[in-house]
Amino acid sequence: MSKWNYEKLGLKAGIEIHQELRTNSKLFCRCSPILTTEKPDFILQRNFRPVLGEMGEFDKAMLVEYQKGLKIQYEGFDNCTCSYEIDETPPFEIDKRSIEIGITLCLLLNMSLIKELHVCRKNYLDGSVPCGFQRTLIMGINGHIEINNKKYGINTLCIEEDAARKVSYNEKNKIITYRLDRLGIPLVEIVTDPDIKTPEEFKEVAFNLGLLLRSSGLVKRGLGTIRQDINVSIENGARVEIKGVQKLDWIKGLIDNEIERQLNLIKIKMEMEKRDLKESDFDTDIIDLSNIFKNTKFNYLKSALKKNMKVFGIKAPKMQGLLCFEILPKKRFGKEIAEKIKIITGLKGIIHSDEDLNKYNLTDTEISAIKEKLNILDNDAFIFLFGPEDKAKKSLEVVISRLKMALKGVPQETRRAKEDLTTEFIRELHGGKRLYPDTDTPPIIINDKMISEIKSNLPEYPWKIIDKIKSKFKLDEKTITDLILTQNLHLFEKVMNNYNVEPKLIAKTLLETIKAMHRDGIPVQNITDDHILSLFKALSEQKIAKEAINDVLKLMAQNPNKSLDKILKSLNLKSISEESLEEIIENVIENNKNLIKNKGEMAFKPLMGEIMKSVRGKIDGKKVSSLLKSKLSRYIMNNK
């Protein structure tokens, strides 16, 4: 139950899904679309600056990225990167399979196909793309997906190249290191319309889009292959993009917290309007306050001054009490400003007059001197910070800019989701000014023949697949859904179509057993489809029993190149006949006469445990149990 009336608040939400495609090459070169854990074969560095968009203007978000002053370092690999990734050669011909997948997904999402595709450049200055832009092309527009009898609009579907992956950040030297292995891997970007009116609807839409992508068999599986972002706004607020939403269960908390944040920023705006504040009021001078703190007892500041750092401050006119305004529980407006400074300049923390200044050991004399130098009047606030001169001044420029934004209420921003379901500033929201045509690639024509061929071989919708599998194999809906989401359904069906194995056992192995092994640190990524098929073939042919599955899979993961016969031999899992089983059971009964005499039928459990030590994994436990019960009952009857 939420504390918010979403309809009354005018909540609008949309989702952006980025999912890597299952292809044999990258999008604009023929390198393998793989990730590696190997050491890099080469390292290079780049610096970035903003460029004008097609309309002759700079994108605001790019300018903020430029302000950060980051140095970028790239790790490259001979087996999955080439001269294209490092921007030394133009793009190769676009990967045809990626285009086919894009058309397929557009048709599944009821979209209007773009028949003359134009590659565009989307500027990025965070260093995640060495050339400074990502190549992308719009495949379809104006589609929809129907969920619970409601249609949710799909605004655009794009095929684009994935960015490099960030592996480290040296905060002291402001050096970000990226790996180039992921750069250029084809991915689909699906952007919905802001039709979603509640967090519950959002979760449904995100879940069903993910289910559709996974069931198509056209996308990759595994950690990091799918990323989803939330776009949220309320009436009188603004669109805020929340990136890095790792779990569907985060959605409600993130949306609810963003609503609260926007409502409180709107309250700050209204209070600023009541105080008759204007943007020009914040065109204030940045004043050097260093001399005030020559004898300060604020040890951290004293240490900074000894290192030749400076203290600068500004007047925040008529802002008294607003810097400590709580925008989220335990988070005040001043804290949000400080977070933005840290991201842009790297300087940590601001000090302002709405705080309890005694905690910094500031004296009344120092506080009075600050007020006098900044010309602070009764309803004014002040803000100061310290650091290297250039960085400190730039940080206060960010403060001034953010105070001006407060007059508009909620700034359009891209923010990062945190595990406590709050968010932090990443950059200003990107606009269309960063998008412009790519001059290196010609238009791509999609002909009717290609569309017709793809249309005749469209994958089934997941909801139809679920109904079919439920009816055919008597599995419950959750199990089938999990098989689709883990992209194991094709493997499940292949086993079922070729071998005589219990459906629930296959599903349990694929969904639970392998997951448990992964938690135990076993390298399950080494287990291939062929391993699974050979395992269930052996089970079907009664070469092993189901009790051996865990042990066999563990060795397959640890020794992926070892044959099944060698694994079974090393586990001493040569199957035994029923005749041999009878002999083992009779021997165990003979050796435990006293136990049976004392316990009767209650001796079954310890006898079963002793027998299984010899036969576990070699014959089905149900057969052992059935035969032991029969022989034990007969023995007891004969010895009354």
| Digit-coded pLDDT (tens) for 167-179 | 988 877 778 899 9
Rounded Cα gap, residues 249 and 563, in angstroms? 42
Rounded Cα gap, residues 189 and 155, in angstroms? 11
Whether residue 245 sits in one domain with residue 185: yes
CB of 470 closer than 8 Å to CB of 477: yes
Query: Looking at residue 601, what is its pLDDT?
Result: 73
- Number of neighbouring beta carbons within 10 Å of residue 340: 23
Alpha carbon of 468 to those of 241, 348, 507, 508, 510: distances in Å? 38, 57, 16, 19, 19
| 455 domain residue, yes or no | no
Rounded Cα gap, residues 349 and 384, in angstroms? 10
Is 126 a residue whose pLDDT tops 70? Answer: yes
| 483 domain residue, yes or no | yes
Of the residues 388, 406, 424, the one at which a domain ends: 406
| 443 domain residue, yes or no | no
Whether residue 312 sits in one domain with residue 250: no
Whether residue 374 sits in one domain with residue 240: no
| 453 domain residue, yes or no | no
Whether residue 158 sits in one domain with residue 15: yes
Of the residues 535, 551, 570, the one at which a domain ends: 570
Whether residue 161 sits in one domain with residue 18: yes
Whether residue 594 sits in one domain with residue 536: no
At 600-622, the pLDDT tens digits run 777 677 776 666 666 665 556 66
Query: Looking at residue 289, what is its pLDDT?
Result: 97
Of the residues 570, 599, 620, the one at which a domain ends: 570
Whether residue 386 sits in one domain with residue 242: no
Taking all residues of the chain, what is their mean pLDDT, rounded to a whole number?
A: 89
* List of long-range contacts for 217-220, beta carbons under 8 Å, 24+ apart: 217/22, 217/459, 217/487, 217/490, 218/21, 218/22, 218/101, 218/104, 218/105, 218/459, 219/19, 219/20, 219/21, 219/22, 219/188, 220/19, 220/20, 220/21, 220/22
Domain, as residue range, for 538: 462-570
Tell whether pTM > 0.85: no
Whether residue 148 sits in one domain with residue 31: yes
Whether residue 394 sits in one domain with residue 282: yes
Is 458 a residue whose pLDDT tops 70? Answer: yes
| 416 domain residue, yes or no | no
Q: What is the CATH number of the domain that holds 286?
A: 3.30.1360.30
Q: What is the mean pLDDT of residues 213-217?
A: 94
Query: Looking at residue 150, what is its pLDDT?
Result: 93
Whether residue 164 sits in one domain with residue 46: yes
Q: What string of H, E and C letters represents the secondary structure of 54-109? A: CCCCCCHHHHHHHHCCCEEEEEECCCCCCCCCCCCCCCCCCCHHHHHHHHHHHHHC
| 292 domain residue, yes or no | yes
Structure tokens of 192? Answer: 């919905």
At 487-528, the pLDDT tens digits run 899 999 999 999 988 999 999 999 999 999 999 999 998 999
**Number of domains observed in the structure of the chain:** 4
Whether residue 587 sits in one domain with residue 555: no
Whether residue 48 sits in one domain with residue 158: yes
| 129 domain residue, yes or no | yes
| 178 domain residue, yes or no | yes
Closest CA to 47 of 176, 180, 183, 184: 176
Question: Side chain identity at 303, as an amino acid letter?
Answer: S
* Strand order, beta sheet including 71-76: 42-46, 71-76, 175-179, 165-170
Rounded Cα gap, residues 296 and 303, in angstroms? 10
At 46-89, the pLDDT tens digits run 876 666 655 666 656 556 655 666 788 999 999 999 999 999 99
